[in-house]
A and B are shown apart, each in its own frame.
With several copies, the nearest count.
Chain A
Amino acid sequence: MAADQEAHPPPEETGEGDPHAFQVHLDNFEGPFDLLLALISKHKLDITEVALSRVTDEFIAHIRDYGEEWDLDQASNFLLVAATLLDLKAARLLPRGDVEDEADLALLEARDLLFARLLQYRAYKEVAAVMSERMAAQGRRYARAVPLEERFASLRPEVFLRLGPREFAALAGRVFTPKEPPSVPVTHIHQTRTSVKEQGELVVAALREHGTLTFTELTEGCTGTFEVVARFLALLELYRASNVGFDQPEPLGALSVTWTGGEGEVRVETDYDDAVDEEEGR
């Protein structure tokens, strides 16, 4: 039993991160919440805003490491969490004192929701550990289940099959039918891979041509959330470098973006780019 435990080590317990163990079990994470919890415990952090900002990069890096091995369900769940984390990180790129508009509030809500789900997941994970201990302890007890003594054999309680021969055969058919997991082609996901740099260049070109565009117009040609997020991040970078100006007359209204940069070459550099470039080059 001890050997079994070594062969299938459970992901780390919260609060007891062992960096070496973490490296070994990198591929064992089941779902984004599992990974986030492990990243947080690796840094011995509580689930706080600080924790999220510090683990975001590692989370994204982990997603990259998976390469093509994702199934659609897993990938979309991870992307959902990744998008939320990126949003939160993006919010921190905004100049200080600009945290009270609706978009920021929405981000705060997204953060709270992520926290809440993470906390809930952690609770179930911990109670699962309690169940595991109980099952292990109970598994050490063996129930008496022995054949009836001959004198009682004829008195055996009848077994109630609830099935006729045809139903029984139908059941057998179901059992013998191979269980191929439903598969959805995931190749199209990879076509949407992009980089902030690449999307930034498109944004710069479009703004230079038109001067002012709404965010909706800027993201019209996007083929997925991935590209929208990349263009949004690119805009934040351009804003930080004073190459664009934003105007949003009313909360939740259209966001218009105006080119304020010069004619010279503008490169959109972000800390996500290195990562994505590496991947593109692979």
Chain B
Amino acid sequence: MSAEHAAGVGDVSAPPTLRRDLEAVLMVVDQPVSEYDLARALDLPVDAVTRTLEELSREYTEQGRGFDLRAVAEGWRVYTRPECADVVEHFLREGQEVRLTQAALETMAVVAYRQPVSRGRVSAVRGVNCDGVMRTLVLRGLIEEAGHDSESGALLYRTTSYFLERLGLRALDELPDLAPFLPDDIEGLDDTGEHTQ
């Protein structure tokens, strides 16, 4: 069925996997994607991509799916269908509180006390790759992007006001001083948690 569909939609140069690949990308990107970016990544003509996107969007509607593919200003994104809004709202409202994992708490601690800080630096302090955890913290609204490092160009992160609220603080300067919780002999610490000497 998918092969027929793709053949009927794209032009001769569109491979049968285009439909599938577009769906996969749209399902996980965390912001709208333009036809141009999609076409470049897939190394295909923009109009083949656009036609397939429009076809997919129509198909989701025809099949009465709970999700919808729509083009907004910056590009295409998967949305929930308006008819399902009540159910989604109910689900979100009734949802249980989310407990953070130890890894998430530790990552958040590094961001809180080192902000603004890049993902690479957070990973260096914790000794493990923190990219996935950082992404989760952004989704949870606990940390957010804070521009780029002027030297390295790396994306920087800081904590949000929601983070302060959840911790019961009014401002960042109410965060307890870290010194009493550090061993006496590590005053020469640099940002990576290593001794500078």
A/B contact in complex, CB under 8 angstroms: yes
Q: Which of B78, B178, B182 has the most CB of A within 10 A?
A: B182
Of chain B, the residue at the smallest CB distance from A117 is B193
- The reply on A270 being an interface residue by CB < 8 A is no
- The reply on B174 being an interface residue by CB < 8 A is yes
**Across the interface, do B105 and A171 meet the contact criterion of CB distance under 8 Å?**
yes
**Across the interface, do B168 and A134 meet the contact criterion of CB distance under 8 Å?**
yes
**Across the interface, do B106 and A165 meet the contact criterion of CB distance under 8 Å?**
no
Residues on A with C-beta less than 8 A from B169 are 134, 165
- The reply on A253 being an interface residue by CB < 8 A is no
CA–CA, A77 and B176, complex, Å: 29
Residues on B with C-beta less than 8 A from A143 are 28, 77-79
Query: Which residues 105-157 in B have Cβ within 8 Å of A in the complex?
Result: 105-106, 108-110, 112-113, 125-129, 132, 135-136, 138-142
What does the 1/0 interface line of A21-40 toward B look like (CB < 8 Å)? 00000001011111000000
How many chain A residues have a CB neighbour from B under 8 Å?
Answer: 78
Known: A140-B82, A142-B79, A164-B168. A74 touches B110 (CB 8 A): no
- The reply on A252 being an interface residue by CB < 8 A is no
Residues on A with C-beta less than 8 A from B181 are 122-124, 126-127, 169-170, 172-174
Known: A30-B128, A141-B82, A169-B176. A176 touches B182 (CB 8 A): yes
Stretch at the interface among B5-13, B55-63, B85-93: B85-93
**Across the interface, do B30 and A119 meet the contact criterion of CB distance under 8 Å?**
no
What does the 1/0 interface line of B158-183 toward A look like (CB < 8 Å)? 00001001111100001111101111
**Across the interface, do A138 and B109 meet the contact criterion of CB distance under 8 Å?**
no
**Across the interface, do A116 and B186 meet the contact criterion of CB distance under 8 Å?**
yes
CA–CA, A232 and B132, complex, Å: 36
CA–CA, A17 and B103, complex, Å: 20
**Across the interface, do B100 and A132 meet the contact criterion of CB distance under 8 Å?**
yes
Known: A4-B99, A113-B195, A117-B193. A171 touches B109 (CB 8 A): yes
- The reply on A86 being an interface residue by CB < 8 A is no
CA–CA, A127 and B181, complex, Å: 7
- The reply on A61 being an interface residue by CB < 8 A is no
**Across the interface, do B193 and A178 meet the contact criterion of CB distance under 8 Å?**
yes
Residues on A with C-beta less than 8 A from B136 are 145
Could you say which of A31, A130, A159 contacts B100, with CB atoms under 8 Å apart?
A159
**Across the interface, do B112 and A32 meet the contact criterion of CB distance under 8 Å?**
no
Residues on B with C-beta less than 8 A from A128 are 102, 105-106, 108-109
- The reply on B101 being an interface residue by CB < 8 A is yes
Residues on B with C-beta less than 8 A from A179 are 127, 135
How many chain B residues have a CB neighbour from A under 8 Å?
Answer: 70
- The reply on A95 being an interface residue by CB < 8 A is no
**Across the interface, do B109 and A8 meet the contact criterion of CB distance under 8 Å?**
no
Could you say which of B141, B175, B194 contacts A165, with CB atoms under 8 Å apart?
B175
Known: A138-B168, A152-B88, A159-B166. A131 touches B27 (CB 8 A): no
Residues on B with C-beta less than 8 A from A142 are 24, 28, 79-80, 85, 88-89, 92
A114 to chain B, nearest CB (A): 9
Residues on A with C-beta less than 8 A from B168 are 134, 137-138, 141, 164-165
Query: Which residues 39-72 in A have Cβ within 8 Å of B in the complex?
Result: 71
Could you say which of A131, A145, A148, A164 contacts B109, with CB atoms under 8 Å apart?
A131
**Across the interface, do B183 and A124 meet the contact criterion of CB distance under 8 Å?**
no
Query: Which residues 179-201 in A have Cβ within 8 Å of B in the complex?
Result: 179, 181
Of chain A, the residue at the smallest CB distance from B192 is A117
A42 to chain B, nearest CB (A): 17
Could you say which of B29, B80, B93, B178 contacts A176, with CB atoms under 8 Å apart?
B178
Of chain B, the residue at the smallest CB distance from A35 is B127
**Across the interface, do A152 and B166 meet the contact criterion of CB distance under 8 Å?**
no
**Across the interface, do A156 and B102 meet the contact criterion of CB distance under 8 Å?**
no
Of chain A, the residue at the smallest CB distance from B80 is A142
Known: A158-B97, A164-B168, A173-B178. A116 touches B189 (CB 8 A): yes
Q: Told that A124-B181, A127-B178, A158-B166 touch, could you supply 10 new A-B pairs with CB distance under 8 A?
A: A116-B193, A117-B125, A120-B182, A125-B106, A134-B168, A143-B79, A145-B135, A151-B85, A176-B178, A177-B186
Please, could you name 25 A-B residue pairs with CB atoms under 8 Å apart, sorted by A? A1-B96, A30-B106, A77-B127, A117-B125, A124-B106, A124-B110, A124-B178, A128-B109, A131-B105, A131-B167, A134-B167, A137-B82, A139-B97, A140-B82, A142-B24, A143-B78, A144-B78, A145-B135, A156-B92, A159-B140, A161-B100, A165-B167, A169-B181, A176-B125, A177-B183
